[in-house]
Amino acid sequence: MSAEQTAAVGQAALSGAREESRRPRMVLLTTTHAVNDLYQGAIPVLISFFAVERHYTYAALTGITLAATFLASIVQPGFGLLTDRHSLGWLIPGGMLVAGAGVGLCGLGGNYVLTWLAIGVSGIGVAAYHPEAARVARAAARSSTRAMSWFTVGGNIGVSLAPLLMTPVLLATGLRGTPLLAVPAVLMAAATWSARPWAVAGTGRAGRRGGSAAAADRGDDWRAFSALTAVVVTRSVLYFSLISFLALLFIRVGHKSTAVGSWALTVFSVAGAIGTVLGGSLADRRGRLPAIRLGYAVCIPVFLALVLVPSVAVRFVLTAVLGVAVFVPFTVQVTLGQDYLPRHIGTASGMTLGLANSVGGLTAPLLGVLADHAGLVRTLEIVALFPVLAFLLALRLTDPRAAAARGGPSRAQAAEG
């Protein structure tokens, strides 16, 4: 065997060893994401039970969604900036614990203000988790969109499991049983603190920012990131409208039970997990921008059909298709944002996973008031404009990886030159 062949074999073995060493870390991080976002998925489940047990109006119900996002929106930029400067691995288990505690307390007593505050605390926990977890995951994934899609799909799995795990508990106990919902957060936080995946995710400048040294030396493109943020915010309004109103579309418009509404949320979330993985694969094979645009293009007719078609069976099928389409761009947008801001990975992750997504929750009460006055179907017909807007905004995006592959400078590099 020649020296070149020996070196090639050694390099392949080293690459394989690195792959094996990062796999357990990615599995653990994906699991933490599932448990953390279990409490994000709890919100639409709880909304169904608040509607049935406490008879809240649409405005009051969407106010619960606002609670999950309002305080999180305020603190999210701070968490992103902190993780850009410091390694704060304890936020991964800590965020999960706070998220679980808030949901655990929300059903105790019948006071709306206390319920709102408990859900708000849970939202802060969810927000605290995301920037640091995304930074550690990016370091482990080594900037692979497909690998990051598996981390992101953990969040979809958590949202998907929420109706399956929480609905039987709440059906048996009512809202007074919400403390039982905090158990997964306690167990997973303890396991994560013991394993400490952030301690081996990479150190130094590049490792702290979750990317390569070359990426860390590239300039930030805030103009491109602003364009992406507009897309993510538009998707956020669409997403929060769906999780706030999808179960109610089956329950109050389709005249079905709470259990049927919970199953609709489960179908949407499971399809979202499939869409997340599919989006990562499409991005690696066909490019990130085509994947993003395809997702929103499919959303446009499917969302409108979901609202207008009266058949419950067809609505379930459309819910599944819509779940895939809404989530195809999700991970792709996260990695695109990280590439726009290679010197501020925590900020980029916090914005694309947290703050920009939370904005949709801030609009939910306005849509709730509209639904109380104009009806749920008419409100959803208006929401159907948002995938159109997201698609049009996505046409303005650029991909710095594609520019680098062509040998041209990124927009930020051109500005610096």
**Distance between CA atoms of residues 127 and 261, nearest Å:** 27
Lowest mean pLDDT among 32-41, 208-217, 227-236: 208-217
Give the count of domains, the chain.
1
Smallest Cα–Cα separation from 61: which of 249, 269, 271, 270?
249
* pTM beyond cutoff 0.75: no
The answer to the question of residue 305 being in a domain is yes
The answer to the question of residue 6 being in a domain is no
Note the pLDDT of residue 172. 93
Note the pLDDT of residue 404. 59
**Distance between CA atoms of residues 288 and 290, nearest Å:** 6
* Average pLDDT over all residues of the chain: 82
Residue 78: CATH number of its domain? 1.20.1250.20
Domain residue limits at 367: 23-406
The answer to the question of residue 313 being in a domain is yes
Confidence of residue 364 (pLDDT cuts 50, 70, 90): confident
Note the pLDDT of residue 402. 67
Provide the token pair at 253.
Answer: 């418009």
The answer to the question of residue 297 being in a domain is yes
Q: Is residue 415 pLDDT above 60, yes or no?
A: no
The answer to the question of residue 248 being in a domain is yes
Lowest mean pLDDT among 65-79, 88-102, 338-352: 65-79
**Rounded average pLDDT over 337-353:** 82
Confidence of residue 357 (pLDDT cuts 50, 70, 90): low
Q: Is residue 71 pLDDT above 80, yes or no?
A: no
- Whether 321 and 362 have beta carbons less than 8 Å apart is answered as no
Q: How large a percentage of the chain has pLDDT more than 90?
A: 38
**Rounded average pLDDT over 92-113:** 93
**Rounded average pLDDT over 259-286:** 87
**Counting Cβ atoms within 10 Å, is residue 300 exposed (0-12), middle (13-18) or buried (19+)?**
middle
Note the pLDDT of residue 110. 83
The answer to the question of residue 2 being in a domain is no
Q: Is residue 307 pLDDT above 80, yes or no?
A: yes
Lowest mean pLDDT among 72-81, 105-114, 176-185: 72-81
The answer to the question of residue 12 being in a domain is no
Instruction: Please name the amino acid found at residue 210.
Output: G
**Distance between CA atoms of residues 207 and 136, nearest Å:** 8
Q: Which residue's structure tokens are 């379930």?
A: 316
The answer to the question of residue 11 being in a domain is no
Lowest mean pLDDT among 58-67, 90-99, 145-154, 242-251: 145-154
**Distance between CA atoms of residues 346 and 208, nearest Å:** 9
**Distance between CA atoms of residues 143 and 280, nearest Å:** 12
Smallest Cα–Cα separation from 275: which of 316, 331, 234?
331
Lowest mean pLDDT among 23-27, 45-49, 314-318, 375-379: 23-27
The angle at the Cα of 349, spanning 347 to 351, to the nearest 5 degrees, equals 70
